[in-house]
Amino acid sequence: MSRFLSAIAILSALSACAPSVSSRAERVFYRGGGEAAWGTVCKLNRRGFIGLGDRGYVSVAHVTDNGTPLVGPKDAVTISDQASDWSFLGINAAKLDPEDYPAIRKGMEVEIHGFPARDRDGEVIPGVVYGDDPEPPFWWVELRDSDDGIAAEGVIGGISGSCVFDDDNDLIAVVHANGFSQIEGTTNTWAKVVPVREAILQAQGRLPPRRPTLLGIEIPRLF
């Protein structure tokens, strides 16, 4: 009996030490028109006023464009952009203040909070902002691993749309894609992210939209 209680105490201590997924990250599953996607959406809250009212969500278009949400918040997409891969749900983006979301900077220590496909517990992935991508608004985060002796692993299905928080627990970006570029002195494991501040500015028409490219050449709009 005493051994059983000791085992419970050890498991409880380990659970208490493990990083938990922020309540601002919520798992979603979209389906419709033959498409389906697991993903994550992030609650939008003013800095310093977390929990004082619902301000909608931000995620990525390649998740929320897949029909209707069967799991997670049912808020409708109010505006999205496939090229820059952001979407706002349940809120008029014109009412958002980009200054409420810190600018992403090289060298920032961050944590990615999200839900791999079918994972109900979620995952917290540490990283460091490496630099911006040649095609704005994207940036790259070098992924780290919180477990000693285990190399960083790439983000997987369902992590798309996950919340990227700075060390003050402020939302700064959402996850767009994964990468494995070989760069000396790094873990060679990356997450490509969309800064929330830039997404708001684009949604408000205060930054130019990203244009799709083919082999580095911009594809002209036909309408």
CB of 51 closer than 8 Å to CB of 39: no
Structural domains for the chain = 25-209 (2.40.10.10)
Please tell me the predicted confidence (pLDDT) of residue 127. 94
Distant-in-sequence, close-in-space partners of 35: CB < 8 Å, separation ≥ 6:
65, 66, 67
Task: Determine how β-strand 213-214 pairs with β-strand 57-59.
Answer: unpaired
Please tell me the predicted confidence (pLDDT) of residue 150. 66
Say what percent of the chain tops pLDDT 90.
65
**What pTM was estimated for this model as a whole?**
0.83
Please tell me the predicted confidence (pLDDT) of residue 157. 66
Q: Which residue has the tokens 């949400």?
A: 69
CB of 144 closer than 8 Å to CB of 187: yes
Please tell me the predicted confidence (pLDDT) of residue 176. 95
Please tell me the predicted confidence (pLDDT) of residue 45. 74
Please tell me the predicted confidence (pLDDT) of residue 180. 87
Q: How far is it, in rounded angstroms, from Cα 114 to Cα 161?
A: 8
| pLDDT, tens digit (0-9, with 9 covering 90-100), for 19-58 | 699 999 999 999 999 999 999 999 997 554 444 445 699 9
Q: Burial code of 146-163, b = ≥16 C-beta within 10 A, e = fewer?
A: eeeeeebebbeebbbbbb
Please tell me the predicted confidence (pLDDT) of residue 217. 44
pLDDT tens digits in sequence order for the chain, 223 residues long: 443 333 333 333 333 445 699 999 999 999 999 999 999 999 997 554 444 445 699 999 999 999 999 999 999 999 999 999 999 999 999 999 999 999 999 999 999 999 988 788 888 999 999 999 999 999 999 998 766 666 676 666 668 999 999 999 999 999 999 888 899 999 889 999 999 999 999 999 999 887 655 444 443 333 2
